[in-house]
Amino acid sequence: MTKLAPSILAADFTRLGEEVTAALEAGADYIHVDVMDGRFVPSISFGFPILRAVAPIARQYGATVDVHLMIEQPERYLEEFAHAGADILTVHVETCPHLHRTIQAIRELGVKPGVTLNPATPLISLEEILPDVDLVLVMSVNPGFGGQSYIPGSTDKIRRLRQMLDVIGSAADLEVDGGISPENAAMIADAGASVLVSGTAVFGGPNTIAENIAAFRRALEQ
């Protein structure tokens, strides 16, 4: 079954605990935490204190704390993110000249390593590292902001990555992030995604978080 990973970037920060709890009550599988440094991506989001606040709530529900690091030199902060409650730490290939070392360092901290790539970065840049990761994240928008439109070419990239994972017999999650809603969720899952990230379509709009998550589930059942 396709997993849902609500991104707290789009949550109401004045009521963060309530919003995360509502997503978990509605059956969110992962809680996706977007860390931005204002250097690798233009915007600055949040860091350790927010992760420390959210991780124990996710843990109460048995959900996975999925941390997406959009920061330069992520190797400098792995230990602190691990201690702050990350279950998965995903780094961008574009930020890691010594990606193999970084992935090993994450695993040695007892955290699942993930790797991701920008829309214009080719899948071939992942070929050597695929056997070593527990999650591969396909960015379907340019990272840095919520609320952007899904880049259509991402679907073919997901299909090709699914083939690459199947060829090596990898059970890694294939996660997709950016511009995902109940309207395109089934298409993305059919292409081979196993985890869908969504910020705006879960926490934004006029409907409740529970209604939004139910809409995803309905879309994915068809």
What element of type H or E holds 90?
Answer: strand 88-92
Q: How far is the CB of 10 from ligand DX5 (least distance, A)?
A: 5
Q: Judge whether 34 counts as a catalytic residue.
A: yes
Is 7 or 222 the residue whose CB approaches Zn ion more closely?
7
The yes or no reply on residue 173 touching Zn ion (CB under 5 A) is no
The yes or no reply on residue 144 touching ligand DX5 (CB under 6 A) is yes
What's the rounded Cα separation, in Å, for the pair 98 and 180?
31
Q: How far is the CB of 11 from ligand DX5 (least distance, A)?
A: 10
Three-state secondary structure call for residue 219: helix
Q: Which residues contact 187 (CB under 8 A, 6 or more apart)?
A: 155
Query: CB atoms < 10 A from the CB of 101, how many?
Result: 11
Q: How far is the CB of 33 from ligand DX5 (least distance, A)?
A: 9
Which range of residues in 16-24, 48-56, 176-184, 209-217 is near ligand DX5 by CB under 6 A? 176-184
Contact between 127 and 115 under an 8 Å Cβ cutoff? The reply is no
Q: Which two tokens stand for residue 106?
A: 């994450």
Residues forming the site for ligand DX5 (CB under 6 A): 7, 9-10, 32, 34, 68, 141, 143-148, 177-180, 197-201
Q: Which residues are catalytic, by number? A: 34, 177
